[in-house]
Amino acid sequence: MNKTTLEDFDIEKISTDVLIIGGGTAGCYAAAHIAENSQYHVIVAEKADIKRSGCLAAGVNALNAYISDGHVPGDYVEYARKDAEGIVRDDLLLSIAEKVNDVTHDLEKKGLVILKDENGDYVTRGWRNVKINGENIKPILAENVYRQKNVRVINHINITDLKLSKDAEGRKVTGAYGFSVRERKFYEIDARAVLIATGGAAGIYRPNNPGFSRHKMWYPPFNTGAGYAMGIEAGAEMTTLENRFVALRCKDTIAPTGTIAQGVHARQVNSRGEIYEEKYGLTTPERIYGTVEEKRAGRGPCYLKTEGISKEAEDDLYKAYLNMAPSQTLKWLESGRGPSEDNVEIEGTEPYVVGGHTAGGFWIDTQRRTTVRGLYAAGDVAGGAPQKYVTGALAEGEMAAKAIVADLGAWSTKEKDNPASCTGTVQDGSGASSDNVKSEGKAAGNIFMRYVSHFNETGETVTCDQAEEAMQKIMDEYAGGIRCDYRYNEAGLETASDRLKSVRKLADKLKAEDMYGLLKIYELRDRLTVAEALIAHLYARKETRWHIFGENADHPEKDEKYSCYVNSVLEDGKIRIIYRPLVREHEYFHDKAALQNAEEDAT
Amino acid sequence: MSVMIDRAKCIGCGRCTDACPGNLLILSEDGKARIREVRDCWGCTACMKNCPVSAISFFLGADIGGNGSHMSVKRDGFLYKWTVKLPDGTDKIIDIDSRSSNAY
Ligand SMILES: Cc1cc2nc3c(=O)[nH]c(=O)nc-3n(C[C@H](O)[C@H](O)[C@H](O)COP(=O)(O)OP(=O)(O)OC[C@H]3O[C@@H](n4cnc5c(N)ncnc54)[C@H](O)[C@@H]3O)c2cc1C
Ligand code: SF4
Ligand code: SF4
């Protein structure tokens, strides 16, 4: 068999002002904002197609972050802080809360259907929720990007690594590398500023339905934590990864339960018909904790009590689910028994790392700058601000865009730079031998050769699927997955950490048949990097502050000593933990120490 | 859950291959769409909504309660017409007007 070499691939080199990695909720909104408010050229690099990629692919059922009449942004901060037992960034939450209503109005202007009462006011569900038809929310955001003339969208390209350079002021991010998931083509993109908006990480733990329906999970199985992984490897500081997110879902279909619970006021009952939710509390983790505990006590299965709701309510539920989680409607219809006849069984999902629901992700300043110069983060990939949801992700996209425009302006006056234009050159691989690329920059050669190496592996026994299952099983059994009711202890975490190292070795030797195969291998690599960092964080918080999200069996109580953030940076291949005091101010700047950590060369 | 593609209906336009957030759909040699791996579908139905001829339908795997039914959607202006085909041959149809919001 002929050996695959770099000559078998095209290499496209592009340079631009701003690169946005991930054209999802936050990424699309940021791209449009930069284009509307500056002359800068923007590239959006998206692994799928921005029209239906990421969390919003199926649609959403409500806008979960909105400040209704009679409430102020501070109420939101208060609520989210309390819900997270204090481990939040007040500055980030406040900046989001001050913006969610504006972005909601903007979405409506762009075509989102929002339910209104006879006075023309939004109909809210609770004080933080607006009712919508969110089926087409992603196409709306995407169309707004395509309207901008300074934005180039590159769909179907998977970004894997950040490009780092050094100048007089130290290390900074100056672009990224990736590959097309369709053609034999690699990309090197130079940019003066890079926004990471790749969403959170699913698929780290063994999922609820590990067989045929293994991807029937809550969080998109295609958001694999690439942004966290790239950031970690670039030496960026991460925060609060140990604050995992677990969702309470309809059993099997993993469809949302909030719509039933709030829509028809269904209560959580055990198999004896006893309402148990009051016993454990009503926050998300408490609702799941209650469900787990009732089962452990032999009183499962657990349900949402819907029996007896009207046929009209049942029809409304069918429709609501078709707009966001169609499998639930299908399940009701095909079983021939709807929610008016049968209670809806519920379960907790596998844990995810997702900074838009809980607080794990990049450690950023109030403007959404990460600890590495030139790199910004927004949406689920950014840490410190739980419960940001769609509107919060949009708000963060806009804030990051503002910071980028301001910083580029300031740097330009400093450097007397001409703004780069958004032109690209395509070289065919035969011109760019590996030596040639090396001379362009060592990193590009190394990264491209790493891609190529997977085409030359034999992959005789171990496939990517197997390696992924191995990782998920390890995380499930030793790092607090579904199988152990989300509990973990130090001995188990050590075992997990150890075994993941073997999976990492397997991942290096996996064979790619084509570009899609390479994508799968890199998705696994992302997840492994996130899993390793997650374990270090779980280990470092020696308490149980949140049921389910962080159920530490060695330290089952809350400990005031840990009223701080657990942060981490990767240095010389080792994860270093940093405990940081809580930020209650309304503005936060990275301190010298944080930036210095990031300046140190990780390579 | 996963999707299946009616090869007789598929006109090979490729729209579903663009829409899938997981890059799961591709055109086969004969120009018809197929899914790379049935187990990798997330169930978002983006492909179905983008198919001009309603060639794609989705179904639940038996592991999550599937019993042989499948569901497809047809776009008609502002309306999404969802049709569930039950194993006994009967259909259930639900119309959704994309201009009206969820009741819940
Ligand atoms: C099923 C579901 C239902 C939800 N329902 C609601 C709701 O009803 N109300 C609400 O307010 N919130 C809801 N949320 C939360 C909300 O949708 C998310 O918090 C928000 O959309 C996250 O935005 P994001 O930009 O961070 O991520 P996303 O919108 O997911 O964007 C991430 C993008 O990055 C791309 N990407 C990932 N890796 C790479 C890579 N390596 N290279 C290039 N591109 C990459 C992805 O394809 C994706 O397009 C829901 C979330 C889910 C998953
Ligand atoms: S339902 Fe969604 S994930 Fe499944 S094939 Fe269609 S677009 Fe892809
Ligand atoms: S969108 Fe429909 S018609 Fe077009 S390729 Fe896909 S299945 Fe075939």
Give me the domains of chain B, ranges plus CATH numbers: 2-97 (3.30.70.20)
- Please give the pLDDT value at position A595: 65
**Rounded distance from Cα A27 to ligand 1 centre (Å):** 10
- Please give the pLDDT value at position A434: 38
- Please give the pLDDT value at position B78: 86
Please name the CATH architecture into which domain A9-245+352-427 falls.
3-Layer(bba) Sandwich (3.50)
Cα A155 to Cα B20: distance, rounded to the nearest angstrom: 12
Find the mean pLDDT for residues B28-41.
Answer: 96
- Please give the pLDDT value at position A596: 58
Contacts 24+ apart (CB under 8 A), A126-130: A126/A262, A127/A67, A127/A68, A127/A70, A127/A71, A127/A75, A128/A64, A128/A65, A128/A66, A128/A67, A128/A68, A128/A71, A128/A76, A128/A79, A129/A62, A129/A63, A129/A64, A129/A66, A129/A262, A130/A62, A130/A63, A130/A66, A130/A68, A130/A104
**Rounded distance from Cα A546 to ligand 3 centre (Å):** 46
Cite the beta strand spans of A458-515 per DSSP E: 487-488
From B4, B5, B9, B10, mutation site for ligand 3 pocket: most ligand atoms within 8 A of C-beta: B10
The contacts of residue A198 (CB under 8 Å, 6+ apart) are A21, A22, A24, A159, A223, A225, A226, A227, A230, A381
> Which phi and psi (to 5°) does residue B84 adopt?
-105, 125
Radius of gyration of chain A (CA): 24
- Please give the pLDDT value at position A10: 97
Q: Which of residues 288-317 of A touch B (CB under 8 A)?
A: 316-317
Helix/strand/coil for A559: coil
Determine whether the interchain pair A216/B101 forms a contact, defined as Cβ–Cβ distance below 8 Å.
no
> Which phi and psi (to 5°) does residue A73 adopt?
-50, -35
Cα A562 to Cα A303: distance, rounded to the nearest angstrom: 35
- Please give the pLDDT value at position A501: 97
Residue with tokens 């450097």: A415
Q: A248-348 in CATH: which number?
A: 3.90.700.10
Mean pLDDT of chain B: 93
What pairing do the DSSP bridges indicate for beta strands B2-5 and A268-269?
unpaired
Question: Which ligand is closest to the CA of B75, given by its number?
Answer: 3
Helix/strand/coil for A131: strand
Minimum CA distance residue for ligand 2 atom 2: B44
- Please give the pLDDT value at position A586: 94
Q: Are A88 and A384 in contact (CB under 8 A)?
A: yes
Domain assignments of chain A as residue spans, ordered by start: 9-245+352-427, 248-348, 440-563
| A243-256 tens-digit pLDDT | 999 999 999 999 99
Q: CA of B59, closest CA in chain A: separation in Å?
A: 8
| B69-99 tens-digit pLDDT | 999 999 888 888 999 999 888 999 999 888 8
Prediction ipTM score: 0.95
Q: Are A240 and A384 in contact (CB under 8 A)?
A: yes
- Please give the pLDDT value at position A416: 61
Q: Are B28 and B43 in contact (CB under 8 A)?
A: no
Number of alpha carbons in the 13 Å side-chain half-sphere of residue A117: 7
Q: Which of residues 173-212 of A touch B (CB under 8 A)?
A: 181-182, 209, 211-212
Cα A381 to Cα A375: distance, rounded to the nearest angstrom: 12
Determine whether the interchain pair B43/A216 forms a contact, defined as Cβ–Cβ distance below 8 Å.
yes
Radius of gyration of chain B (CA): 14
For residues A164-192, one letter each, b for 16 or more C-beta atoms within 10 angstroms of the residue's C-beta and e for the rest, the string is beeeeeebbbbbbbbbbbbeebbbbbbbb
Q: Which residues of B touch A325 (CB under 8 A)?
A: 43
Q: Please name which of A23, A205, A354, A513 lies closest in space to residue B37, comparing C-alpha atoms.
A: A513
Determine whether the interchain pair B104/A263 forms a contact, defined as Cβ–Cβ distance below 8 Å.
yes
The tokens describing B45, both together, are 């139905």
The tokens describing A499, both together, are 């075994």
CATH number belonging to the domain at A440-563, selected among 1.10.10.10, 1.20.58.100, 3.30.70.560, 3.30.2130.10: 1.20.58.100
Minimum CA distance residue for ligand 3 atom 6: B16
- Residues of chain A with pLDDT below 70 are 1, 415-442, 593-603
Determine whether the interchain pair A330/B64 forms a contact, defined as Cβ–Cβ distance below 8 Å.
no
pTM: 0.95
Residue A470, number of CB atoms within 10 A of its CB: 18
Q: Please name which of A60, A17, A41, A51 lies closest in space to residue A146, comparing C-alpha atoms.
A: A51
